[in-house]
C-alpha cells in the first residue's frame, strides 16, 4: 500500500495496481486529461508498477510524473521479448512525455533494378537502375536501404561507370533512334538502339547484382574469364571492353578499400550524450561497402533517463542500471528496427540487453548479433561513427543555442509575458496564388525554438474574387480560429474548459502590412480574441531583406528591429517558411488544376491548339470556367457558338 507521504491518487487506480498479476507485460500511465505520460515494460507487472506507488519520490522528475498519474492501462504478454516489442510500438504511437522517443524520419531510399521481361515494350528486356523510395514489389530487385539519397546516386553512378547500365525511363528508351550523351561518355551501353545484345546486357546486370551483394571478387573472376575467352576467339574489341570494365571495377575496389572486408551487411551505432541532448549516429555497410551515415536526435532524454535511474527500471539490463548512453541506444535499436530491415550484425558503442537482440531476431526471422567492443575493420567503422556522433551533436547544440537566443530576443523586443521561453508559440500566415489561380493559404507553427512541421496546415481558398488577398486572409483566419474562439468564449462564461481544448498562440504573424493587419483585426474583433496577438511583417523600402517593419493591430506604433537584430532574423525565418509552404501548396494545386485541362479537349471542336490558347489566355481551367461567353469568344480560333459550347460544358 502507498505510504502516508505518497501523493494522493484515485482509489480506482490504487485498486488496479493492487490487482495486477505477477506476469510479463506493458503498462501505460495517463494524466487527468487523458495524455499518456509513460510506457514501460515489466517481467513482473505487479512488482514493477507497485514500486511507483510505494514510496515518496519527492521533487524529482519521477515524482512529478507519479503525481500526475490518474489512470493506468496494462497488457499482459507471454515473454519479455513480446513486452519489448509492444512497449516500443506504443512509444512510437503514443509519444509519451517521459520516454526516450525517436521520431520516424522519411523512409530510407533504395537502389532499384527492374526485372527483365519478354513482355511489355522494347525496354522491358533490359533492366534499369534507378533511385527508389516506397513500398517494394517482389518482381523487381532492391538493394539497400541506403542512409541518404546521395549514397543511392553514388551507387547508380557506379553502376553506370563499371557496368554501363541504363537509367532512362521506358518512354525515353522506347522512342530513341540514336544513342544519348551517356553512351558518348561511356556511361551506358545503349541497348535502346541495339549497340549491345540482350545476352551481353544480361551478363552486365548479373555482375552488377553480384557486386551490390558484396561478391566483388567473383565478379572480377567472371569478367576476366570472359575477357580471355574473347581474346582466344580473336574477338579483340569485345575483349577490350571487358578489360576496361575490369580496370574500372579494380579502381572502385581500391578506392573503397573493401578488398579484405568479410562483413557484408552491418549497421554501426554510436551514441553521444551532452547538454541534455543525445545523438545516435547510424552508419551502414551493405555488400561490404560503407555507404555513409545518418544522425538521429531523440526527444525527452533527460526526463526519461531520470525516471529510468530513480525507479531502477534497468534491473533486467546488462550489468545493472545502464548509463544514459546505453538507454538511448536501447531505445533506438528497439524503435528503429520496428519498420526497417535489421542486418545480421550490429556494431554498438554501448552494451545492449541480450533480450532486446533476441526480440529483434524473433521479429525479423534473422539471427542478429551485437558486438560492443569490436576489432580490426569494425573498430575503425565504430570510431568513425563515434566521431560523427560527436560532431553532429555539437552542431545541434550550437544551432539550438542560437535559436534560443533568437527566441529570447523576440520575446524581449515585443515585451511578451511568458513564464517559459520554451513554450513561445508563433503561428504565421501567408497567401499564395498565380494571377488569382490556385489560391492557397498557409499556416506554419514555431514552438520549442524550432518549426513544428507536423502542425503546418494549408487552406484551399474558394468563393472569393481571384487575386483578393484580403478576402483570402479573412477566410483562413476564420477557419483557423473560429471554433477555438467559440470554445474559449464558452469556457470564460462557464469557467470550465473542455478536455483537449487547444490554446491560442502567443503571436500571430501575417505576411503583409497595414491592409492585412486591418483584415486580421476585423476577424479577431468578430471572434472576440485579443488584438495584441496580431503582428504584420511589412516589407521595407525597396522590399529589401533586413528592412522589414512590424505592424501591430492594437494601435502600437510600427517597430523596426534593426537589420542585425536576432529577433528580426527569427521573424524572417518564420515568415519565409510560411511563404515557402504556401508556394509549394499553390504550385501543387495549380498543377492538379492544369492537368484537369484534359476536360477541355473532351469538348467537340476544342483540340490541343485551342485548348493551349484558352489555358494561356485565362491562366488555367478555373480561369476559363470563370470567364463569360463573350470573353471566351475573344480567343483566337474560338467562335461565339463554340464559346457557348465551352461555357455549357464547364458549367
Show the cell assigned to 226: 570472359
CATH 3.30.420 fits 266-394, yes or no: yes
Q: pLDDT by residue (tens digit) across 457-507? A: 988 888 888 778 888 899 999 999 988 888 888 777 776 656 556 678 999
Confidence bin at 6 (pLDDT 50/70/90): very low
User: What is the rounded CA–CA span in Å between residue 23 and residue 35?
Assistant: 26
Q: Say if residues 167 and 132 touch (Cβ distance below 8 Å).
A: no
Show the cell assigned to 184: 558518348
Domains 266-394 and 421-587 share a fold: yes
- Residue carrying the nine cell digits 455549357: 648
Residue bearing the bigger pLDDT, 580 or 400: 580
For residue 538, give every residue at least 6 positions away whose Cβ sits within 8 Å of its Cβ, in sequence order, or none. 512, 513, 514, 548, 549, 550, 551, 558
Whether the pLDDT of residue 268 is over 90: the answer is: yes
Q: Calculate mean pLDDT across residues 334-346.
A: 86
Residue 293 pairs in a beta bridge with 283
pTM, 2 dp: 0.62
Q: Say if residues 624 and 606 touch (Cβ distance below 8 Å).
A: no
Which of 551, 157, 89, 501 has the alpha carbon at shortest distance from 331?
A: 89
Indicate the average pLDDT of the chain. 81
Q: Tell me what pLDDT residue 2 has.
A: 44
Confidence bin at 263 (pLDDT 50/70/90): low
Q: Tell me what pLDDT residue 599 has.
A: 64
Least confident of 71-85, 210-224, 347-361: 210-224
Q: pLDDT by residue (tens digit) across 562-592? A: 777 888 888 888 988 988 888 876 666 555 4
User: What is the rounded CA–CA span in Å between residue 413 and residue 605?
Assistant: 63
User: What is the rounded CA–CA span in Å between residue 496 and residue 460?
Assistant: 34
Q: pLDDT by residue (tens digit) across 628-646? A: 888 888 888 888 888 888 8
Q: pLDDT by residue (tens digit) across 280-332? A: 999 988 877 778 888 999 888 877 766 665 444 444 444 456 788 998 999 89
Q: Tell me what pLDDT residue 619 has.
A: 67
How large a percentage of the chain has pLDDT more than 90?
A: 13
Whether the pLDDT of residue 594 is over 50: the answer is: no
Q: Calculate mean pLDDT across residues 546-574.
A: 83
For residue 347, give every residue at least 6 positions away whose Cβ sits within 8 Å of its Cβ, in sequence order, or none. 266, 267, 268, 269, 370, 371, 374, 378, 381, 382
Whether the pLDDT of residue 601 is over 60: the answer is: yes
Looking at domain 11-94, its CATH superfamily turns out to be: GIY-YIG endonuclease (3.40.1440.10)
Q: pLDDT by residue (tens digit) across 71-128? A: 899 999 888 888 888 888 888 888 888 888 887 656 778 888 888 876 767 778 899 9
State the fold for domain 596-650: DNA polymerase; domain 1 (1.10.150)
User: What is the rounded CA–CA span in Å between residue 335 and residue 90?
Assistant: 10
What is residue 418's DSSP assignment? Answer: -
Which of 610, 606, 648 has the alpha carbon at shortest distance from 629?
A: 648
Torsion of CA 558, 563, 565, 566, to 10 degrees: 120
Least confident of 55-69, 262-276, 446-460, 522-536: 55-69
Q: What is the DSSP track for 432-465?
A: EEETTEEEEEEEEEEETTEE-GGG-EEEE--SS-
User: Which CATH number is 421-587 given?
Assistant: 3.30.420.340
* Pairing of β 507-511 and β 534-538: parallel
Whether the pLDDT of residue 64 is over 50: the answer is: yes
Q: Tell me what pLDDT residue 12 has.
A: 86
Which of 107, 93, 101, 1 has the alpha carbon at shortest distance from 55?
A: 1
Q: What is the DSSP track for 352-416?
A: --HHHHHHHHHHHSS--EEESS--HHHHHHHHHHHHHHHHHHHHHHHHHHHHHHHHHHHHHHHT-
Residue 443 pairs in a beta bridge with 429, 457
Torsion of CA 81, 87, 89, 91, to 10 degrees: -150
User: Burial letters for 161-172: b for 16+ Cβ neighbours within 10 Å, e otherwise?
Assistant: bbbbbbbbeeee
Least confident of 416-420, 459-463, 527-531: 416-420
For the chain, domain boundaries: 11-94, 110-256, 266-394, 421-587, 596-650
Q: Tell me what pLDDT residue 305 has.
A: 67
Whether the pLDDT of residue 597 is over 60: the answer is: no
Q: What is the DSSP track for 157-210?
A: HHIIIII--B---HHHHHT-SS--HHHHTTS---GGGTSS-HHHHHHHHHHHHH
Amino acid at each position: 500500500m502507498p505510504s502516508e507521504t505518497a501523493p494522493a491518487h484515485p482509489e480506482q487506480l490504487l485498486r488496479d495496481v493492487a490487482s495486477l498479476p505477477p506476469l510479463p507485460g506493458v503498462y501505460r500511465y495517463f494524466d487527468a486529461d487523458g495524455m499518456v505520460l509513460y510506457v514501460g515494460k515489466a517481467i513482473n507487472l505487479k512488482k514493477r508498477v507497485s514500486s511507483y506507488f510505494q514510496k515518496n519520490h519527492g521533487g524529482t522528475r519521477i515524482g512529478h510524473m507519479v503525481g500526475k498519474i490518474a489512470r493506468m492501462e496494462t497488457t499482459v504478454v507471454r515473454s519479455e521479448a513480446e513486452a519489448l516489442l509492444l512497449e516500443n510500438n506504443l512509444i512510437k504511437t503514443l509519444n509519451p512525455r517521459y520516454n526516450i522517443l525517436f521520431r520516424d524520419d522519411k523512409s530510407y531510399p533504395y537502389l532499384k533494378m527492374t526485372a527483365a521481361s519478354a513482355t511489355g515494350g522494347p525496354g522491358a528486356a533490359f533492366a534499369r537502375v534507378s533511385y527508389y523510395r516506397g513500398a517494394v514489389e517482389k518482381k523487381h530487385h532492391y538493394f539497400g536501404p541506403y542512409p541518404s539519397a546521395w549514397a543511392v546516386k553514388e551507387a547508380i553512378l557506379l553502376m553506370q561507370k563499371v557496368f554501363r547500365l541504363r537509367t532512362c525511363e521506358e518512354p525515353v528508351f522506347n522512342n530513341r533512334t540514336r544513342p544519348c550523351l551517356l553512351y558518348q561518355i561511356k556511361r551506358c551501353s545503349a541497348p535502346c538502339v541495339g549497340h549491345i545484345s540482350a545476352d551481353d546486357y544480361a551478363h552486365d546486370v548479373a555482375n552488377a547484382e553480384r557486386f551490390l551483394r558484396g561478391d566483388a571478387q567473383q565478379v572480377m573472376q567472371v569478367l576476366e574469364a570472359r575477357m580471355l575467352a574473347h581474346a582466344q576467339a580473336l574477338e579483340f574489341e569485345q575483349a577490350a571492353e571487358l578489360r576496361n570494365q575490369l580496370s574500372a571495377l579494380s579502381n572502385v575496389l581500391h578506392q573503397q578499400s573493401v578488398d579484405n572486408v568479410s562483413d557484408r551487411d552491418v549497421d554501426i551505432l554510436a551514441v553521444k550524450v551532452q547538454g541534455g541532448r543525445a545523438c545516435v549516429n547510424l552508419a551502414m555497410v551493405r555488400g561490404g561497402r560503407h555507404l555513409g551515415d545518418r544522425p538521429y536526435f531523440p526527444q525527452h532524454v533527460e526526463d526519461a533517463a531520470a525516471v529510468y535511474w530513480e525507479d531502477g527500471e534497468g534491473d533486467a539490463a546488462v550489468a545493472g542500471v545502464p548509463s544514459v548512453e546505453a538507454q538511448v541506444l536501447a531505445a533506438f535499436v528497439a524503435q528503429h528496427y520496428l519498420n526497417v530491415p535489421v542486418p545480421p550484425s550490429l556494431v554498438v558503442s554501448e552494451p545492449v540487453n541480450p533480450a532486446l537482440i533476441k526480440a529483434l531476431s524473433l521479429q525479423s526471422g534473422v539471427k542478429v548479433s551485437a558486438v560492443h567492443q569490436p576489432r580490426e575493420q569494425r573498430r575503425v567503422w565504430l570510431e568513425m561513427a563515434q566521431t560523427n556522433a560527436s560532431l553532429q551533436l555539437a552542431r545541434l547544440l550550437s544551432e539550438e543555442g542560437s535559436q534560443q537566443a533568437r527566441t529570447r530576443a523576440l520575446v524581449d523586443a515585443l515585451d511578451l509575458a511568458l513564464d517559459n521561453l520554451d513554450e513561445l508559440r508563433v503561428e504565421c500566415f501567408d497567401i499564395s496564388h498565380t494571377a488569382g489561380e490556385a489560391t492557397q493559404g498557409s499556416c506554419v507553427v514555431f514552438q520549442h525554438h524550432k518549426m513544428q512541421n507536423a502542425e503546418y496546415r494549408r487552406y484551399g481558398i474558394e468563393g472569393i474574387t481571384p487575386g483578393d488577398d484580403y478576402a483570402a486572409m479573412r477566410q483562413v483566419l476564420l477557419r483557423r480560429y473560429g471554433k477555438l474562439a467559440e470554445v474559449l468564449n464558452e469556457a470564460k462564461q462557464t469557467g470550465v474548459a473542455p478536455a483537449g481544448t487547444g490554446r491560442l498562440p502567443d503571436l500571430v504573424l501575417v505576411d503583409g502590412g497595414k491592409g492585412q493587419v486591418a483584415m486580421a483585426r476585423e476577424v479577431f474583433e468578430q471572434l472576440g480574441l485579443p488584438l495584441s496577438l496580431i503582428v504584420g511583417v511589412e516589407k521595407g523600402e525597396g522590399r529589401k531583406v533586413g528592412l522589414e517593419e512590424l505592424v501591430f493591430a492594437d494601435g502600437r506604433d510600427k517597430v523596426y528591429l534593426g537589420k542585425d537584430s536576432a529577433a528580426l532574423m527569427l521573424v524572417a525565418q518564420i515568415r519565409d517558411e510560411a511563404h515557402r509552404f504556401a508556394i509549394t501548396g499553390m504550385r501543387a494545386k495549380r498543377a492538379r488544376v492544369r492537368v484537369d485541362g484534359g476536360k477541355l479537349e473532351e469538348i467537340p471542336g476544342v483540340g490541343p491548339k485551342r485548348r493551349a490558347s484558352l489555358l494561356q489566355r485565362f491562366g488555367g481551367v478555373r480561369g476559363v470556367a470563370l470567364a463569360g461567353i463573350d470573353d471566351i469568344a475573344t480567343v483566337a480560333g474560338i467562335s461565339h457558338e463554340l464559346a457557348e459550347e465551352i461555357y455549357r460544358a464547364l458549367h
